[in-house]
Amino acid sequence: MIVESSIRKTREMIGRWRRQGDRVGLVPTMGFYHAGHCALMDKARELADRVVVSLFVNPTQFGPSEDFTVYPRDLDGDCDKARARGVDLLFCPEVDAIYGPEDQTIVEVGPLSQGLCGAGRPGHFRGVTTVVTKLFNILDPDYAVFGEKDFQQLAVVKRLVADLHLPVQIVGHPTVREEDGLAMSSRNVYLSEDERRAALVLYRALLTVQQEAQRAGFEIPAAELREIGRKMIAAEPLCSVEYFTIIEEVSLQERDRVDSGCRVIGAMQVGSRVRLIDNLALMTLS
Amino acid sequence: MIVESSIRKTREMIGRWRRQGDRVGLVPTMGFYHAGHCALMDKARELADRVVVSLFVNPTQFGPSEDFTVYPRDLDGDCDKARARGVDLLFCPEVDAIYGPEDQTIVEVGPLSQGLCGAGRPGHFRGVTTVVTKLFNILDPDYAVFGEKDFQQLAVVKRLVADLHLPVQIVGHPTVREEDGLAMSSRNVYLSEDERRAALVLYRALLTVQQEAQRAGFEIPAAELREIGRKMIAAEPLCSVEYFTIIEEVSLQERDRVDSGCRVIGAMQVGSRVRLIDNLALMTLS
């Protein structure tokens, strides 16, 4: 596996691969790999001849009061894990290389970026779509694989690619979970033992809503399902709900009833430092 | 010459050219070709193996009170002119193909888009940078040639390409002028005979400022040069100055004195319907 920080050398290498007809699969990451990241790398391997992983903790997608400086980092461990998945190239540029001194260009997806996590994290998705556009332009992938845990991000990036006619296919991958169901996240390391136990309520709430919807043959108002989930989270003293709702998975619009392509999606605060998100399909897109 | 409106077919054709090692030069246009456009096509021909011209009157770069609907169009004449310049492919997509029904993504270059024409035409450069990003992603050129008449546009697009790491080289081409010096523009057809005569004052003001700066060995305050030009335009009853100033050509920042990379640049209204822009180098970038 090649570990490269230079944009120029990375472009040259990928250019050579592409000229010899190799298809390139990209997994954009912020590092601190867990089994979720490894599953995305495996998926990229399945789709493409060359697997490129970008490792870049992108400052512009963190708010001023968020955890950019303390976001967990472990380059050596990440290299070992990526190498073990058969990754061909780990691209880990410096911040100054991605954002030059005169940088002043932003890429923004409108309405899709504004609700859900976008409401609680203003500017977050602008940071994501700007850096993803830069990475796609540098790395020129045929495929880019994103986890469904960050479901709004996946929807926003799909919209970005369609709108800007970016020549890449976005592939979503199901959320990888701990044995007890907690969605894997680099931020789970922030959790104390008590918080880790409490954190599971989000998945349990999603699962309960999914089961209740199925039990009712989907003939149950979304408002009722929302209440079930919100009450479960509210009952957990260490957790407070940020949002918990039923959406349609392409438009991310809230729905009154459960129909094709509906998901239940939530975000909550655990203790004073950790914010977790998760989601589950209620009815697959027909 | 191939005339194509389909994005898919255009991509396929350019992909074939690129796979056989051809370099692609793009001239993005809004049509109604004059000698200025033809010079850009010749420049692209000089740089690349294949010349692609995009013809797209981009609605998002026109303000609500601007001339989108009446912007001059002449597809047949444009085809003849492009064919005569040896253009390989004229890409003329429909608006709906560039902006899909769910389109909501914008690309924006910050401070560079705000002064000069950006102040008088809010949202104009956002429309330009958004459509240029789309066109670059569809057409994948090695070079893209822009006229220096739209000097702010050229600076903004250079910034866009650097910031987003777009794999294309932006090439500026000197302004082509009518015999009497008026900068060629598709909008010149809007001018009445009297307005056409009056319109020349912008070039004469730029030229006078250039000559005064040279005569003073560049030891003359920019404020004094601005005044000379503004007074000349103000003295022309059919014209009113929108801006007229001395800028540095990369940052587009106003300058107090004439030094390396300085340009004099202006915009004025002629009669009630026509807005013209022009610029000249005062001192080349050292």
Is residue A43 included in any domain, yes or no?
A: yes
| Mean pLDDT calculated for residue range B234-248 | 98
The dihedral formed by the CA atoms of A122, A125, A128 and A132, expressed in degrees to the nearest 10: -150
* B285 pLDDT above the threshold of 80: no
Does residue B250 sit in the same domain as residue B158? no
d(CA A200, CA A195): 9
* A274 pLDDT above the threshold of 90: yes
Does residue A113 sit in the same domain as residue A145? yes
**Contact status of A133 with chain B (Cβ, < 8 Å):** yes
pLDDT at residue B145 in the model: 98
State ipTM: 0.97
* A151 pLDDT above the threshold of 80: yes
Annotated binding-site residue? B37: yes
Count of domains forming chain B: 2
Among B117, B138, B173, the domain boundary falls at B173
Does residue A93 sit in the same domain as residue A225? no
Concatenating the DSSP letter of every residue in A79-91 gives HHHHHHTT-SEEE
pLDDT at residue A128 in the model: 98
Q: What are phi and psi of A220, to 5 degrees?
A: -145, 135
The residue to which tokens 């600076």 are assigned: B155
**What residues 98-117 of chain A have any CB closer than 8 A to a CB of chain B?**
98, 100, 102-112
Is residue A160 included in any domain, yes or no?
A: yes
| Mean pLDDT calculated for residue range B202-216 | 97
| Count of CB atoms situated within 10 Å of the CB of B183 | 23
Is residue A179 included in any domain, yes or no?
A: no
* A127 pLDDT above the threshold of 80: yes
State yes or no: is B165 an active-site residue. Answer: no
pLDDT at residue A225 in the model: 98
Are residues A134 and B164, on separate chains, in Cβ contact within 8 Å?
yes
**Contact status of A159 with chain B (Cβ, < 8 Å):** yes
Annotated binding-site residue? A61: yes
Does residue B13 sit in the same domain as residue B117? yes
| Mean pLDDT calculated for residue range A226-250 | 98
pLDDT confidence tier of residue B283, bands split at 50, 70 and 90: confident
| Mean pLDDT calculated for residue range A22-48 | 98
d(CA A272, CA A278): 18
Query: Cβ distance B32 to B72 under 8 Å?
Result: yes
Query: Cβ distance B75 to B92 under 8 Å?
Result: yes
- Give the amino acid at A226: R
Give the closest of B99, B163, B165 to A104, CB-based.
Answer: B163
Does residue A202 sit in the same domain as residue A152? no
* Number of Cα atoms under 13 Å in the Cβ half of residue B62: 13
pLDDT confidence tier of residue B251, bands split at 50, 70 and 90: very high
- Which of helix, strand or coil describes residue A93? coil
Mean pLDDT of all residues belonging to chain B: 97
Is residue B232 included in any domain, yes or no?
A: yes
Q: Domain limits at A251?
A: 186-283
Among candidate residues A198, A126, A181, A184, the one with its CA nearest the CA of residue A150: A184
pLDDT digits (tens, 9 = 90+) for B44-90: 999 999 999 999 999 999 999 999 999 999 999 999 999 999 999 99
Are residues A107 and B105, on separate chains, in Cβ contact within 8 Å?
yes
Token digits of residue B79: 């085809």
d(CA B245, CA B240): 14
Does residue A33 sit in the same domain as residue A127? yes
Residue B32: which region, alpha, beta or left (left: phi > 0; alpha: psi -120 to 50)? Answer: left
Does residue A136 sit in the same domain as residue A273? no
| Mean pLDDT calculated for residue range A248-252 | 96
Does residue A46 sit in the same domain as residue A101? yes
| Mean pLDDT calculated for residue range B204-224 | 97
Interface A-B: count of C-beta contacts within 8 A:
83
| Mean pLDDT calculated for residue range B182-200 | 97
pLDDT at residue A172 in the model: 98
pLDDT at residue A285 in the model: 75
pLDDT at residue A286 in the model: 73
Cα-Cα end-to-end distance for chain A: 40
CATH number at residue A278: 3.30.1300.10
* A283 pLDDT above the threshold of 90: no
